[in-house]
Amino acid sequence: MAELEGLEFGKSDFVLLDEVTMEQFMENLRLRFEKGRIYTYIGEVVVSVNPYRQMDIYGKDTIEAYRGRELYENPPHLYAVSDAAYKAMKRRAKDTCIVISGESGAGKTEASKYIMQYIAAITNPSQRAEVESVKNVLLKSNCVLEAFGNAKTNRNDNSSRFGKYMDINFNFNGDPTGGHINNYLLEKSRVVHQQEGERNFHSFYQLLRGGSEETLAAFHLQNDPAVYVYTKEGTSNNDRTSHKAVISALEVIGFSKEEINSIYQILASILLLGNLQFESDGESVQILGQEAVNQISELTATEPESVSKTLLYRTVATGGGEVIEKGHTEQQACFGRDAFAKALYERLFGWIVGRINTVIEVKDYNPVLHGKNTVIGVLDIYGFEIFDNNSFEQFCINYCNEKLQQLFIELILQQEQAEYQREGITWQHIDYFNNQIIVDLVEQPHKGIISILDEACLTVGNVTDTVCLDSMDTKLAQHPHYTSRKLSPSDKSMEFQKHFRIRHYAGDVTYSVEGILDKNKDLLFQDFKRLMYNSTNPVLKEMWPDGQLSITEVTKRPLTAATLFKNSIVALVDKLACKEPYYVRCIKPNEMKSPMLFDDARCQHQVAYLGLLENVMVRRAGFAYRQPYARFLQRYKMTCEYTWPNHLMASDREAVEAIVTQHGFQDDVAYGHTKLFVRTPRSLFTLEQERAALIPILVLFLQKVWRGALARMRCRRMRAIYAIMGCYKRYKVKAHFWEVERRFANVRNMADYGKSVEWPTPPAALAQFHKNTVMLHRRWWARQIVKKIPPSDMLEVRAKVAALTALSGERKDWGISRAWERDYLANCDLFLPLLSQVNRFNKSTDRSLLVTDKFVYKLEPKKQYKVMKRLPLDAFTGLSLTSGVDQMVVLHTSSEDDVLLCLQRGVLCPNQDRVGELVGALVDHFTRVRKVQFPVKVCRSAVQLHMRGKLKSVTVETKPGQAAADFKKSRDGFILLFPGN
């Protein structure tokens, strides 16, 4: 916690000072700087002192320590205010902005980089590729803009010579989806002139010192900046490294190789322009050295003649519409050259910013589909400047700081006090300096300095800088914040007809009027614009769209630089005013860039003009947090049993009072007409802690209720589904019954009793029922067929059915087509076929077989069927036969040798098969009469039988044309050769 810092580090919040005096403020600021504590709070404002050294307080561990924490939960840090702005944006879906202000060299640029790094580090936890790409472009854009927009000054080695405001767009998840960069007032005069000890923009030195030999040769350059007029002042040790980083950043952002090459071609052409020299012979002006013109022509993809003509002549349209060419004087040619160089660089910088914006801007955003798009703005703009020689650029920069200070006053001091008065809160008014009078001095229509400058620029005739100064002295003589040597003759710090002074909120600044009108005008001749528009380089052509106008079409004078800047700053302030602001106030501890020196007088001056002491007084006397009752109740009602989930009190104010009373904050709040005011952040932090602890419980409760609702919905849906399924199943069953009934309605009258009728496919639920129904129909069909058979034929039918069942389709022909006489001898009960018996001595004899219901008799047909052997029918356990057309049968017995027989096919019909009749008679008798099974085995090759206690195997082969049976003994038993058909 910030309050837990040791007393040896001073007070981490200036609001906690014992007395609010400048002495105590400065003593606390000095102590913290000397102890390495460069950040201090004023409520939610962060005061940052430039340490002029690298500090190990920006790593991943520090980022994690500040992620998601409240402002006063950790020691003061840039990350704390960054996280506060991010949380406000994400929690309340409100646009926020971080305004970084301070003098040049106070550390604004570094602060903006750390803020960007923190926001990039805490977003996109799921590492989505498209979000990472946006973050990379946003971070890399800093590197590019620093190279082309920053320069070394006497106060700062990396001074921003332009103003930058970046909007970062976030989706409803809090992940960056894009952004937009606005740039303000690039100090283009630095391209052609720098004060002693300062440098041109970094990009020139990075190209000259970091470019490869091949690149420099292609651009007609040398690697020594001192060779060129525009870069005579010094180099830097890290120019080479920075050049590689910039090239890499341009590639990451999405610049093509051709575009990157065009950028550095333009830089090279500017350097070569600066070395152009002119000479006059009294009548005309010539360029010294045509080679330089050819090189510039090559780099800008234009014609050498066009380049020379544009530098030496100006095309003018007369009143009658005639177009003439006017030659320049040597001075005019030099001035035009420098104006062209400045314009080239300014257009290049604007094109680079625009190109970055095309990559990072949010495209095709639909709030309905993607949720609310919120914004965090980061403003890094030049600080207040007081140089030995202050010109037009310092005037604009200091005006910008006046506007930002006025915004700070309105938002932090004026609006806050007005709100206390409006809400009826007891309040002791605090006086503060309102710099609106200075803002009006600069921008007031018809009376302000910008209006006077514009009027002088628009006046026809020879209006000089001195005439313009006289006009300001006349119109502003009575203004308390304006003076000049003419108005104050005794003030020798100013010169007559050269200086005027403005008493800014940050101090008195003396400005020189020399060249101020030329800088305010757009003095670039239209010839230069047409020259660049006609270039075959598409990048250059894109930078100069106004060059397509002919000389006769250019009639309206463009807005002056001061007016354009004023309009952009007014738009910027309006943009900031509609966002919730967070401030970083940067202080420069000394002019020596020393990490040890704390210049008390220098720092006290900055504290005074930044209004920090007044800010402390307002924060100390006021309230750190205020919120309408309804919104406060909506956010914290879950922390009180009387307000959750909804209160039953007369008003929201009473409900808020119940919350405050339950937490014991009565002495730390004030009740306004529409809002609750909380004095210290500690009370708010306690509420946030309790709310954060309750949120998971409430989320779990909501999840439980919602899951129950989902389960009930699913249950009702399933019940409906089952009801529909039940109805459908019943319908399918009934439909099946109706279809069966329709198809089989007339089967009694059919010739085949419905055997040919196709059964409908049953539903799955009736599969078993269908099988049973089919079986019943078959039984009924069989019954109908059997009913037509005479009783005298029933025994034959039963025998055939028994044979059919026993043979199971294994034997193709088994005599089913002939009539089975059964009784082949009168008065025999069952079956008497003729057969041949072959014994083990290879002798074949004719025999008859008589099967009765008790015995099996072997008869001698030649001896009037004399009984030769009788075997009980119970002794037989089954029979075996082959699947062929032979008539061989083996009768298996339980105790005797098996009987091997070959049945004769019949006298009248030699092809009659009698095996089936024998099988049918025996199986029918055993199963129907004796109620036992009589197994029948159909063998495809060898038939097994027992003879003399040994297992024998008999194979039957039929050979056409063989007349008699031939028996051969083998080790496997007997082989029976029987004649075939």
Which residue matches tokens 């402390």? 616
The one catalytic residue among 156, 169, 302, 893? 156
Q: Which residues pair with 903 in a beta bridge?
A: 835
Query: Is 810 within any annotated ligand binding site?
Result: no
The per-residue pLDDT for 236 is: 65
Tell me if residue 383 is catalytic: yes
DSSP 8-state secondary structure symbol assigned to residue 855: E
How far is CA 562 from each of CA 260, 441, 501, rounded to the nearest angstrom? 31, 14, 18
CA distance 129 to 152: 37
Q: What are phi and psi of 207, to 5 degrees?
A: -65, -45
900: left (phi over 0), alpha (psi -120 to 50) or beta: beta
Angle, helices 330-360 vs 257-274, to 10°: value is 160
Beta strands in 734-773 (DSSP E): none
- What CATH number has the domain spanning 626-708? 3.30.70.1590
Answer yes or no: CATH 2.30.29.30 is held by domain 793-979. Answer: yes
The per-residue pLDDT for 641 is: 79
Beta strands in 434-560 (DSSP E): 482-484, 499-504, 507-512
602 membership: H or E segment, kind and range: helix 600-609
Q: Tell me the helix, strand and coil percentages in the chain, rounded to 5.
A: 50, 15, 35
Q: Quick one: tokens of 668? A: 């730390």
217: left (phi over 0), alpha (psi -120 to 50) or beta: alpha
Q: By C-alpha distance, which of 936, 669, 672 is closest to 804?
A: 936
Q: Which residues pair with 950 in a beta bridge?
A: 947
DSSP 8-state secondary structure symbol assigned to residue 201: B
45: left (phi over 0), alpha (psi -120 to 50) or beta: beta
The one catalytic residue among 10, 105, 672, 754? 105
Q: Quick one: tokens of 816? A: 């089913």
CA distance 805 to 816: 12
Angle, helices 652-663 vs 681-743, to 10°: value is 110
3-state secondary structure of 938: strand
Q: By C-alpha distance, which of 505, 556, 536 is closest to 546?
A: 556
How far is CA 383 from each of CA 396, 397, 399, 821, rounded to the nearest angstrom? 11, 7, 10, 131
Q: Quick one: tokens of 37? A: 């504590």
Q: Return the domain boundaries, the chain.
A: 626-708, 716-784, 793-979
How far is CA 331 from each of CA 122, 279, 394, 665, 922, rounded to the nearest angstrom? 56, 10, 26, 75, 141
Largest Cα–Cα separation, the chain: 178
Q: By C-alpha distance, which of 610, 174, 170 is closest to 377?
A: 170
The one catalytic residue among 383, 547, 611, 672? 383
Q: How many CB atoms lie within 10 A of CB 21?
A: 12
Query: Is 108 within any annotated ligand binding site?
Result: yes
647: left (phi over 0), alpha (psi -120 to 50) or beta: beta
3-state secondary structure of 930: coil
Tell me if residue 105 is catalytic: yes
176-184 sheet: strands from edge to edge = 39-42, 45-49, 580-587, 96-102, 374-380, 163-170, 176-184
Tell me if residue 177 is catalytic: no
Tell me if residue 104 is catalytic: yes
3-state secondary structure of 262: helix
Q: Which residues pair with 954 in a beta bridge?
A: 943
Tell me if residue 101 is catalytic: no
Query: Is 664 within any annotated ligand binding site?
Result: no
Residues of the chain with pLDDT under 50: 1-4, 368-369, 827-829, 908, 960-981
The one catalytic residue among 109, 153, 269, 401? 109
CA distance 561 to 686: 52
Query: Is 274 within any annotated ligand binding site?
Result: no
Tell me if residue 484 is catalytic: no
Query: Is 188 within any annotated ligand binding site?
Result: no
DSSP 8-state secondary structure symbol assigned to residue 44: T
Whether residue 326 contacts residue 314, with contact meaning beta carbons closer than 8 Å, is answered with yes
Cis amide linkage into residue 645, ω under 30° from 0:
yes
CA distance 774 to 748: 16
The one catalytic residue among 12, 101, 142, 159? 159
Whether residue 410 contacts residue 420, with contact meaning beta carbons closer than 8 Å, is answered with no
Q: By C-alpha distance, which of 401, 383, 493 is closest to 153?
A: 383
CA distance 428 to 617: 10
The one catalytic residue among 104, 435, 483, 882? 104
CA distance 268 to 222: 10
What would the DSSP string read from start to end of 677-715? Answer: EES-HHHHHHHHHHHHHHHHHHHHHHHHHHHHHHHHHHH
SS (H, E, C) 517-548: HHHHCCCCCHHHHHHHHCCCCHHHHHHCHHHH
Q: How far apart are the first and last CA of the chain?
A: 115
Q: Quick one: tokens of 241? A: 């490294």
CA distance 229 to 272: 9
Query: Is 103 within any annotated ligand binding site?
Result: yes
167 membership: H or E segment, kind and range: strand 163-170
Considering Cα of 871, then 872, then 875, then 878, what sign does the dihedral take?
positive
Tell me if residue 269 is catalytic: no
CA distance 169 to 373: 6
Size of the chain in residues: 981
Cα 219 to chain centroid, rounded: 42
Tell me if residue 212 is catalytic: no
Which residue matches tokens 């097994």? 944
Burial (CB < 10 A; 0-12, 13-18, 19+), residue 448, is buried
Type of residue at 530: R
CA distance 658 to 652: 10
507-512 sheet: strands from edge to edge = 482-484, 499-504, 507-512
Whether residue 680 contacts residue 703, with contact meaning beta carbons closer than 8 Å, is answered with no
The per-residue pLDDT for 393 is: 86
Whether residue 374 contacts residue 95, with contact meaning beta carbons closer than 8 Å, is answered with yes
Q: How many CB atoms lie within 10 A of CB 233?
A: 17
DSSP 8-state secondary structure symbol assigned to residue 496: T
**Residue range 1-36, pLDDT digits in tens:** 334 466 678 888 888 787 888 999 999 999 999 999
The one catalytic residue among 44, 385, 402, 796? 385
The per-residue pLDDT for 840 is: 60
